[in-house]
Structure 1
Amino acid sequence: MRESAAERHDRLLGLVRERGSARVSDLASQLGVSPVTVRRDVEELAGRGLLDRVHGSVSWPQGAASAAGPGGSGLVLGMLAPSSTYYFSEVIRGAHEAAAGAGARLILRISDYRPQEDQARTEGLLSAGAEGLLIAPGWQHPGDPAAFGDWIASLPVPTVLLERRPTAGSPLDGLDRVCSDHAHGVLLAVRHLVDLGHGAPLLMARADSPTALAVRSGYAEALAVLGLRAPQDVIESVPAELAPDTFDQAVRALHEAVHSGVATAALIHNDVDAIQVVQRLAELGVRVPDDLALIAYDDEVAALADTPLTAVAPPKRDVGRHATELLVERLGQSGGAPRRHLMLLPQLRVRDSCGAPLS
Structure 2
Amino acid sequence: MRESAAERHERLLELVRERGSARVSDLAALLGVSPVTARRDVELLAGEGRLDRVHGSVSWPGRRPPAATGAPSATGGGHGPVLGLLAPSSTYYFAEVIRGAHEAAARAGSRLILRISDYRPEEDPMRTEGLLAAGAEGLLIAPGWRAPGDPAAYGEWITGLPVPAVLLERRAAPGSALDGMDRVASDHGHGALLAVRHLMDLGHGAPLLVARADSPTALAVRSGYADALAALGVRAPRDVIDSVPAEQRPEEFDAAVRALHQAVVSGTASAALVHNDVDAIQMVQRLAELGVRVPDDLALIAYDDEVAALADIPLTAVAPPKREVGREATRLLVERLTDRQRADEPRRHLSLLPRLRVRDSCGARRASGGAAGAGPDRTDTDNSF
TM, length-normalised to structure 2? 0.84
Q: Is the CA contact (8 Å cut-off) linking 1:76 and 1:132 kept in structure 2?
A: yes
In structure 2, give the amino acid aligned to 1:105. Answer: R
Structure showing greater radius of gyration is 2
The equivalent residue for 2:58 is: 58
Are 2:99 and 1:101 equivalent residues in the alignment?
A: no
Whole-angstrom distance in 2 between the partners of 1:23 and 1:193: 53
For 1:66-101, what per-residue CA distance to the aligned partner results, in whole angstroms no more than 9, with x for missing partners? 534xxx33x100000000000000000000000000
Aligned-residue Cα RMSD (Å) equals 2.7
Deviation at 1:167, TM superposition (A): 1.0
The equivalent residue for 1:114 is: 120
Deviation at 1:146, TM superposition (A): 1.1
Q: State the SS of the aligned residue for 1:194.
A: helix
Q: State the SS of the aligned residue for 1:231.
A: coil
The equivalent residue for 1:89 is: 95
Whole-angstrom distance in 1 between the partners of 2:339 and 2:20: 30
The equivalent residue for 1:302 is: 308
Q: Is the CA contact (8 Å cut-off) linking 2:100 and 2:323 kept in structure 1?
A: yes
In structure 2, relative to structure 1, the CA distance for the partners of 1:13 and 1:318 (3 Å cut) is farther
Q: Is the CA contact (8 Å cut-off) linking 2:75 and 2:112 kept in structure 1?
A: no
In structure 2, relative to structure 1, the CA distance for the partners of 1:162 and 1:6 (3 Å cut) is farther
Whole-angstrom distance in 1 between the partners of 2:4 and 2:180: 33
Q: State the SS of the aligned residue for 1:83.
A: coil
Deviation at 1:336, TM superposition (A): 2.1
Whole-angstrom distance in 1 between the partners of 2:12 and 2:145: 24
Whole-angstrom distance in 2 between the partners of 1:17 and 1:267: 47
Q: Which runs of 5+ in 1 are unaligned?
A: none
The equivalent residue for 2:181 is: 175
The equivalent residue for 2:382 is: none
Whole-angstrom distance in 2 between the partners of 1:311 and 1:49: 29
User: Alignment length, in residue pairs?
Assistant: 351
Deviation at 1:52, TM superposition (A): 5.7
The equivalent residue for 2:352 is: 344
The equivalent residue for 2:283 is: 277
With a CA cutoff of 8 Å and minimum separation of 6, indicate the structure with the bigger relative contact order: 1
In structure 2, relative to structure 1, the CA distance for the partners of 1:232 and 1:305 (3 Å cut) is same
Whole-angstrom distance in 2 between the partners of 1:138 and 1:255: 33
Q: Is the CA contact (8 Å cut-off) linking 1:178 and 1:323 kept in structure 2?
A: yes
Deviates more, 1:14-23 or 1:314-323: 14-23
Whole-angstrom distance in 1 between the partners of 2:5 and 2:230: 41
Deviation at 1:9, TM superposition (A): 5.3
Which residue of 122, 129, 133 maps to 2:135? Answer: 129
Q: Is the CA contact (8 Å cut-off) linking 1:64 and 1:106 kept in structure 2?
A: no
For 1:315-347, what per-residue CA distance to the aligned partner results, in whole angstroms no more than 9, with x for missing partners? 000000000000000112334211000000000
The equivalent residue for 1:243 is: 249
In structure 2, give the amino acid aligned to 1:296. Answer: A
Whole-angstrom distance in 2 between the partners of 1:167 and 1:27: 47
Whole-angstrom distance in 1 between the partners of 2:168 and 2:289: 39
TM, length-normalised to structure 1? 0.89
Within 5 Å, give how 1:1-359 maps onto structure 2.
Answer: 16=16, 21-23=21-23, 35=33, 40-46=40-46, 51=51, 57-59=57-59, 62-63=72-73, 67-68=77-78, 72-73=79-80, 75-334=81-340, 335-356=343-364, 357=367
Q: State the SS of the aligned residue for 1:35.
A: coil
Q: Which runs of 5+ in 2 are unaligned?
A: 62-71, 369-385
